[in-house]
Amino acid sequence: MIEDAPSTTPPKKKHGCLKACGLIFIILILLIGVTAAFAFRLPQKYGLIKSPAQKLLSGTPDRAGAEVLLKEVQTAGLSTKGVSLYVLPIRGTDKTMAVAILDASQGFQLTSGGGSDPMSITMTKLVATKKAEELKVDRVAIEYHDESGAALITMTAGADAIRGFARGSLTRDQFMKAVDGQMNIPAVVERSAVHF
């Protein structure tokens, strides 16, 4: 009888669990990293992906139209000191968007429009001109900067809602539901703390 010779191949080490767990851990870290990058809009910040605003408003601004519109708004009673106005084409349509920067550091005063709601009054005056109709202004955006130049409030609304509010066919509550806005809360709190 032949005796069984001892095996010369060493037994296999079992690293299967360690490799699988390591691979799952690396995939999990990558997923968290990608999610965080998109949550903080890093691809848009670094120009890898266009933001929705860039995709929508990537045409050449109508500087001449904005200048005429600003003069008509001034004629309608709004002080244009510290106001910068841009008229941007909306991609894929023949309509435009009027973007006004109301900058207190350049001399704009919130009370210059008259009334108790200067932001709404400014929006109304921007679309209530003949030039706004000629330019086919479909949306208005306003950004207010305080005396230090910090952006405090951004508001935007469709021109139809603004005109409806101006005519009285929309109540203030209905109009405010049609307005999208954003507030720089840290700057507002800091500004409030300075005034107290």
Q: Where are the domains of the chain?
A: 16-49, 55-195
Mean local confidence (pLDDT), 18-23: 81
Mean local confidence (pLDDT), 76-101: 89
pLDDT of residue 126: 87
Q: What are 29's two structure tokens?
A: 């870290």
pLDDT (tens digit per residue) in 136-180: 999 999 999 888 888 888 899 999 999 999 888 999 899 889 999
The yes-or-no verdict on residue 194 having pLDDT over 70 is no
pLDDT of residue 113: 52
Listed in sequence order, the DSSP H helices in the chain are 16-39, 42-45, 52-56, 63-75, 118-127, 130-134, 159-167, 172-178, 185-195
Mean local confidence (pLDDT), 92-98: 89
**DSSP tag of 45:** H
C-alpha span between 148 and 169 (Å, rounded): 38
Please report which confidence band the pLDDT of residue 90 belongs to, taking 50, 70 and 90 as the band edges: confident
155 within 8 A of 123, measured Cβ to Cβ: yes
Indicate the SS3 state at residue 20.
Answer: helix
Mean pLDDT is lowest, of 14-18, 34-38, 66-70, for 14-18
What pTM value is reported for the model?
0.65
Mean local confidence (pLDDT), 33-54: 75
